[in-house]
Amino acid sequence: MTPVFIISAPSGSGKSTLVNEIRTNVERLEFSVSYTTRMPRGSEENGREYYYTSREVFERMIERGEFLEYADVFGNYYGTAWRFLEDAKGRGHDLLLDIDVQGAEQIQKKLPEAISIFILPPTRQELERRLRRRSSAERMTDETVIQRRLETASREIEKYTEYDYILVNDQLNDSVDALKAIIQSERLKAEGRTPERSEDVQMAKLAQSRLLENVRPTLGPILESFRNKTA
């Protein structure tokens, strides 16, 4: 069985940076590049961040049943093609999906065995700071867009209880270590193996510490920062 890892996060949470680190440092892990109908931003390249296509082509792909999941976000389609899962299986690799909460919900219904991970920013204020910094770098400083992304983040964060693991992305290195531990620990489970080496035991403990039930009691201040927008 090919483990499938779902990663979701509000825009600006640092998910892309985290995913790029994991893609570089974890073997036998393939990344599914999503299709989208939005235009490239900044230095984005076709086939790297996304496969950019027209709305007409995307809708034909929907009609042919080519998507594992897809969603309309802010007037643009985003979707993951089935072929990436089949290709990963053929190579004996695991698949990493970087998708929003709408797509994650679809995949969890189709692939209930998928391992889901939600990335949280440390506070709403930090998320806003990151969004403004990224928007400035992309030369897209429209205040309406920033506020819309913050509102969307507030709604998405309420879905955190539907995920297996929660990572609070405060320190990148810590988040990378935790995500690697989750992937390696879940691989051992999929292979029916019990951690025996000391490094595997420590890895399993780190992964377990990020399980929803273990993280939930600490999330109050983060969730409150999104509910209390004037804080």
The Cα–Cα gap between 156 and 11 comes to 10
What pLDDT is stored for residue 231 in this prediction?
46
Pick the CATH number of 4-31+96-227 from 3.40.1160.10, 3.40.50.300, 3.30.413.10, 3.40.640.10: 3.40.50.300
The Cα–Cα gap between 119 and 36 comes to 22
Q: How many CB atoms lie within 10 A of CB 230?
A: 3
- Of the chain, the end-to-end C-alpha distance in Å amounts to 46
The kind and range of the H/E element at 230 are: none
Q: What is the mean pLDDT of each run of 10 residues along the chain (231 residues)?
A: 88 88 92 93 86 97 95 90 92 92 91 96 91 70 80 91 96 95 94 91 96 96 82 46
CA atoms within 13 A on the CB side of 225: 15
pTM: 0.89
Spell out the domain ranges in the chain.
Answer: 4-31+96-227
Q: Is 31 exposed, middle or buried (0-12, 13-18, 19+ CB in 10 A)?
A: middle
